[in-house]
Amino acid sequence: MNPLSAPWLELAIGTAAVGSIVVGWLGRPDRVYRWGVAFIGSAFACSLLASLSFYAEGPAASPGARPSPLALDDLSAPLLPAVALLHLLTAVATARAHARRFSFSWSLAAEAIGLAIFATKGPWPLVGLLAASTVPPLVELRNRGRPTRLYALHMALFVGLLILGQTGVDARGPASAAPGWACLALTAAVLIRSGAAPAHCWVTDWFEHASFGIALLYALPLSGVYAAIRLVVPIAPDWCLRLIGLASLATAVYASAMAVVQREERRFFAFLFVGHAALVLVGLGIHTELSLCASLCLWFSAILSLCGFGLTLRALEARFGRLSLAVHHGLYERTPVLAVFFLLTGLASVGFPGTVGFVSVELLVDGAVDADLPAGIGVLAASALGGIAVLRAYLALFAGGRSDSSVAVGITRRERFAVTALTMLILAGGVFPQSGVKTRETAAAAILKDRARRGTAATPAKPGEAAASEPASPRSRPLR
């Protein structure tokens, strides 16, 4: 029997789900930690094998070919192991002293739901899973005794709009287009979940109140973008996607600018994250093959780089507590390795050369300028401001003074392993980007093909229009 043909996808989700229950029964924190990491590691291995099986043997041989609501495709195949890796590295990098605070049981539950989301294409199962995914964060906030009203309000609105929109879409006849109000409801739901302004406040609030590790796990996979691709892009008219593009562009610029002036590191990170989520949606809103490919590349690079960046900030927090960015801390001499990782992952997130984000940002700017010059300028502005915000944070945390204490607070082995693994991926993706870009290009083409098949691309995307009216240039090709 070919080992790759085993149901790895189901095993990955099942392992996380079973792990959540088993770990919940364990009492001692050290046992919880060991078993928790073992389950999360196993889930990662299974998801990696599921992804490999998809690429090695194609969708026909992958578990999705069997009668199961779960399936991988070009879009989700690399995202699944990325999400599992995010969980694994976050768990591994958790300091023993903080293992009590880090809820392995809820983290595994969230992982099971997250993996299931990324392996689901059907609208209603996806709506159900997205609704279910809002529960673990609520429990986390309650367990920590933090205010939940703001989060609950936003998520209730998100789930309500999602159900309303999908009901409207299902109510249409098979031959008719989805009603505008239903598309609008789905669009609003996606924008809320992705933290588009002014609904971004739940993201900043979430990062304020949750433990940093759990906050990363819930936010970074960008489930809102996945919902947009599965639920909105296939059926929404062009104006709906343009609305997503516009709202996201404004959010990207606003959030990146806000990141520059933040006085506390978690809020700074939250705004940086909101800016990235918005940039990913900008490419989706433009929905040309190039911009969509850029968007998918950026999504992947954001998961890796922001995870590394977040873990570095979390490691700093573990040593020094919540840090103000309004003062110089001069921590470089005490934690030089963390400083290097901070800079590297931070710059990767804003698309610095040699890192995985470089090509993504280049492609996105190219795609945006191709479709709409102001959109391109907006993307550039967001990227430039993000770069300023990252260096400002670096200088505030690591330079400008001498730390009072001489106690060594170097990086631990487990933290080093987690951040080094991410850094290697970030650099490898930056130096050899083509294979990754190729998979994203295939996924983008499949998404647009699906949209065209359903007849929702009533008017061609702008480059296509240009191609119809002007002599064909190699860069203004109509969508295939």
Partner 1 sequence: MTGFELWTRALGAVVVGGPVALTVALGGASLLGRPPREERTSRLVEATIVSGLLATLAMLVTMLATGSRRVAVDFGEWVAVADSYHFRIKFVFDRLSVPVAILSFVLIGTIGAFASRYLHRERGFNRFFVLYSVFALGMIATSLAGTMETLFAGWELVGLSSALLVGFYHERRAPSRNALWVWSVYRFSDAALLLAVVTMHRLRGAGDLDVLFGFAAWPEARADVTAAQAFLVGLLLLTAAAGKSALAPFSGWLPRAMEGPTPSSAVFYGALSVHLGAFLLMRTSPLWERSLAMGALVAALGLATAAFAHVVGAAGTDIKSALSFASLAQVGMIVAETGAAGVAGWVGGRASGDVAVAAAAAAVWLRYVALAHFLGHACLRTLQFLRAPTLLHDYHQLENAIGEGAPRPTAAAGRRGDARAEARRYRFALERGFLDAALTTFVAAPFTRALRRCDSLERRWTDWLSGEPSRESDQVKPRPGTFDEVL
Q: Which of residues 142-171 bind partner 1 (CB under 8 A)?
A: 147, 149-150, 153
Phi, psi of 393 (to 5 degrees): -65, -40
Rounded-to-integer distance, Cα 5 and Cα 14, Å: 17
Residue 120's DSSP bridge partners are 70
- The one segment of 4-12, 19-27, 45-53, 316-324 that binds partner 1 by CB under 8 A: 316-324
Q: 60-99 mask for partner 1 (x: CB under 8 A)?
A: ----------------------------------------
CB of residue 189 vs partner 1: minimum separation in angstroms? Answer: 18
- Cis preceding linkage at 198, omega within 30: yes
- Judge contact between 230 and 124, C-beta under 8 A: no
Q: 326-355 mask for partner 1 (x: CB under 8 A)?
A: xxx-x-xx--xx--xx--x--x----xxx-
CB of residue 381 vs partner 1: minimum separation in angstroms? Answer: 7
- Judge contact between 73 and 443, C-beta under 8 A: yes
- Judge contact between 256 and 386, C-beta under 8 A: yes
Residue whose structure tokens are 């196993």: 42
Q: What is the CA angle 421-62-294, rounded to 5? A: 55
Q: Which two tokens stand for residue 479?
A: 């969508």
Among positions 234-263, residues that touch partner 1 (CB under 8 A) are 254, 257-258, 260-263
Identify the residue among 31, 96, 100, 402 touching partner 1 (CB under 8 A): 402
CB atoms within 10 A of CB 470: 9
Question: Is residue 324 within the footprint of partner 1 (CB under 8 A)?
Answer: yes
CB of residue 7 vs partner 1: minimum separation in angstroms? Answer: 33
Amino acid at site 283: G
CB of residue 52 vs partner 1: minimum separation in angstroms? Answer: 23
* 12 vs 247 by CB, closer to partner 1: 247
Residue whose structure tokens are 């104006």: 239
Q: How far is CA 250 from CA 40, 95, 327, in A?
A: 37, 38, 29
Question: Is residue 409 within the footprint of partner 1 (CB under 8 A)?
Answer: no
Instruction: List the one residue out of 123, 143, 250 whose CA is nearest residue 189.
Output: 123
Amino acid at site 293: C
Question: Is residue 325 within the footprint of partner 1 (CB under 8 A)?
Answer: yes
- The one segment of 4-12, 108-116, 298-306, 323-331 that binds partner 1 by CB under 8 A: 323-331
Question: Is residue 474 within the footprint of partner 1 (CB under 8 A)?
Answer: yes
Q: Work out the end-to-end distance of the chain between its first and last CA atoms, rounded to an integer number of angstroms.
A: 38
Question: Is residue 205 within the footprint of partner 1 (CB under 8 A)?
Answer: yes
Taking the CA of residue 157 as centre, how many other CA atoms within 13 Å lie in the half-sphere pointing to its CB? 17
* 21 vs 153 by CB, closer to partner 1: 153
CB atoms within 10 A of CB 46: 25
Identify the residue among 16, 86, 290, 318 touching partner 1 (CB under 8 A): 290
- The one segment of 44-52, 88-96, 100-108, 324-332 that binds partner 1 by CB under 8 A: 324-332
Identify the residue among 66, 96, 172, 322 touching partner 1 (CB under 8 A): 322
Q: Which two tokens stand for residue 303?
A: 């998961």
CB of residue 71 vs partner 1: minimum separation in angstroms? Answer: 26
Identify the residue among 398, 426, 429, 464 touching partner 1 (CB under 8 A): 398
Amino acid at site 204: T
Taking the CA of residue 264 as centre, how many other CA atoms within 13 Å lie in the half-sphere pointing to its CB? 10
* 362 vs 450 by CB, closer to partner 1: 362
What is the b/e burial string over 241-267, where b = at least 16 CB atoms within 10 angstroms of the residue's CB? Answer: bbbbbbbbbbbbbbbbbbbbebeebbb
CB of residue 330 vs partner 1: minimum separation in angstroms? Answer: 6
Question: Is residue 449 within the footprint of partner 1 (CB under 8 A)?
Answer: no
Amino acid at site 210: A
Instruction: List the one residue out of 456, 401, 447, 474 whose CA is nearest residue 183.
Output: 456
CB of residue 267 vs partner 1: minimum separation in angstroms? Answer: 5
Among positions 353-372, residues that touch partner 1 (CB under 8 A) are 353-354, 358-359, 362-363, 365-367, 369-370
Q: 266-285 mask for partner 1 (x: CB under 8 A)?
A: xx------------------
Q: How far is CA 73 from CA 14, 119, 173, 234, 321, in A?
A: 19, 8, 27, 15, 42
Identify the residue among 45, 48, 380, 409 touching partner 1 (CB under 8 A): 380
Question: Is residue 301 within the footprint of partner 1 (CB under 8 A)?
Answer: no
Rounded-to-integer distance, Cα 443 and Cα 72, Å: 11
- CA-CA-CA-CA torsion sign (79, 316, 142, 89): positive
CB of residue 212 vs partner 1: minimum separation in angstroms? Answer: 12
Q: How many residues bind partner 1 (CB under 8 A)?
A: 83
Among positions 28-67, residues that touch partner 1 (CB under 8 A) are none
* 23 vs 348 by CB, closer to partner 1: 348
* 34 vs 144 by CB, closer to partner 1: 144
